[in-house]
Amino acid sequence: MSVLAFNLTALAHADFWLGAGIIAGVYSIFTLGLQMNVGFTGIFNFGQAGFMAIGAYAMAILILRFHWSPWAALPVATLCAMLAGLIVGIPALRLSPDYLAMATIAGAQIIQIVAQNGGTFTGGNNGLLGFDAEWQNIQLWMLGKLGKVGLGTQYALPLFLVTWATFLVLLGGLTVVQRTPWGRVLRAIREEEDAVAALGKNVFAYKLQSLALAAALGAVAGYLLSLNISLVYPQAFSADFTFIGFAGLVLGGVGSYAGVALGSLLLWFVLEGVRFVELPLAADKVAALQLLLVGLILVLVMVLRPQGILGKREEMVIRG
């Protein structure tokens, strides 16, 4: 009982909720791009982690190698990620859905391999450090302000607030955009792209735009992840990131931007919460148990509510 009480106390600590909340927020932003592609356009993008890496590396390289201000580097890095989305999308979007998925996975793997073998320019497997100096100053300033109004002095609190504020802004923007004629064309493409083409719309161009915007959202998630770990390195942007993003998408509901946040929160509080359960298992076995629990949750959701927690059955039409 004493061990259990200790774990419950640790689980209730603010550091746990802030840490898990930051990762869940990063995944929520990341998965917004997947939702735009899968839920609202009907294209299977399995290379989102690669676009995330492009944004994070471009930001770090511009700051460290070319001595840019972070405020100038961030928009340029976002454009780099969007350009990468266009480069991958121009050939890949002409393929069938299955081959599109494989092409985007390959694109993400190529980006990771280039980062690993980029020598001192990308830092190789050691990654890049020191790009977040300006953020550290902002974080300390925010901690001073937050301490004065009694919101606590946890070091992770500023990034938690910035991450979720960014998510809410993007969520509001995407919700508005989805109700525009452009957004309605994306929905129509998802449901019956031949009919959209027959009406004179350039389906390929709309798909390409959707992929580029998703890449931009991935880049934003990449910045925030890099600030959280204070390091940009290849293993942080592995294909696992995209697959866990898809798990959050399925949990929250395809076709629901709000469901993205709910799915990511549920996913990461389960993954992180397992660490506070005392089990006679080695560390690698605990990681396997985490994935097992996520799998069980996905199975239960698919059986009891296949459209996801906040999804709608009519939004489950995905043609590719």
pLDDT recorded at residue 3: 43
Q: Which residues of 163-201 are buried (b: 16+ CB within 10 A; e: fewer)?
A: bbebbeebbeebeeebeeeebebbbbbbeebeebeeeee
Among 98, 14, 85, residue whose Cα is nearest residue 55: 85
Which residues are within 8 A (CB) of 118 and not within 5 positions of it... i.e. 6 or more apart? 124
> Rounded CA gap, 255 and 309, in Å?
11
pLDDT recorded at residue 140: 86
pLDDT recorded at residue 9: 58
Domain ranges of the chain: 2-316
Looking at the DSSP bridge assignments, the partners of residue 232 are 128
pLDDT recorded at residue 304: 86
pTM of the model: 0.91
Looking at the DSSP bridge assignments, the partners of residue 251 are none
Residue 230 corresponds to which amino acid? S
For domain 2-316, the question of CATH label 1.10.3470 is answered with yes
- Could you tell me the CA-to-CA distances from 101 to 16, 73, 316 in Å, in that order? 35, 30, 18
CB 56 within 8 A of CB 226: yes
Residue 310's H or E segment, with its range, is none
pLDDT recorded at residue 74: 97
- Could you tell me the CA-to-CA distances from 237 to 169, 240, 243 in Å, in that order? 24, 8, 11
pLDDT tens, position by position, for the chain (320 residues)?
A: 444 444 555 555 677 788 889 999 999 999 999 999 999 999 999 999 999 999 999 999 999 999 999 999 999 999 999 999 999 999 999 999 889 999 999 999 999 999 999 999 999 999 999 999 999 999 988 888 777 554 555 778 899 999 999 999 999 999 999 999 999 999 999 999 999 999 999 999 999 999 999 999 999 999 999 999 999 999 999 888 898 899 999 999 988 998 999 999 888 888 777 766 666 666 667 677 777 877 888 888 888 888 888 887 766 655 44
Q: What is the CA radius of gyration of the chain?
A: 20
